[in-house]
Amino acid sequence: MKRIILASASPRRREIMTLAGLPFDVIVSDCDEEVSYDGPEDMVRKLSARKAEYVAEKLQKEETEPHLVIGADTVVYFRDQILGKPKDKEDAFRMLTELSGNSHVVYTGVTVIDTATDRTETFCEATKVEFYPVTEEEIRAYIATGDPLDKAGSYGVQGLGAFLVRRIEGDYFTVVGLPIAHLMQILRKY
């Protein structure tokens, strides 16, 4: 298999790749993340592709060795709003208060680029998440840990934010940020 490059700064995506036993290196994509889009699925598809393309182009300029570059993006979708990472603690509080006692959908888009052939595959997974009702005090205590400040929707299902989640319908790893089973099916082709 070609050398795998994860075009992401996310420690959660790194953990998932490691758990799957995939050898990989990380090159963080510093691309512009402003895109026009038609809904959350379109947004994560475009952003995952942009991240992967940024790193693939960089590698093609610098090296001749072929790579498989993986880009990913995750958003929370609730009441026709896309919730990305919070701007600050108050933004995190707003998001978590809105999500409390309600269901939302997490979308993760993934793009794989083979730098030898420019073959590109992009997919999106969606998973429904239902939250327990939580109090203002519980939300503030969670925010004080710093855990929600770098996560779409202001929570991490794999860590301290697990206390929020009543039920998940779909792929757990989509919520964490990398639907690994689907990704592995694509990587088998290479």
Token digits of residue 136:
């203002």
Is the CB of residue 16 less than 8 Å from the CB of residue 176?
A: yes
Is 114 catalytic? The answer is no
Q: Per DSSP, which regions of the chain are E strands?
A: 3-6, 24-26, 67-78, 81-83, 103-114, 119-131, 165-169
Question: Of the residues 32, 42, 73, 80, which is catalytic?
Answer: 73
Closest to 73 in 3D by CA, of 97, 36, 41, 30: 41
User: Residue 138: helix, strand or coil by DSSP?
Assistant: helix
What ranges in 20-64 are assigned the alpha helix state H?
A: 40-62
Closest to 150 in 3D by CA, of 89, 108, 77: 89
Q: Which residues are catalytic?
A: 73
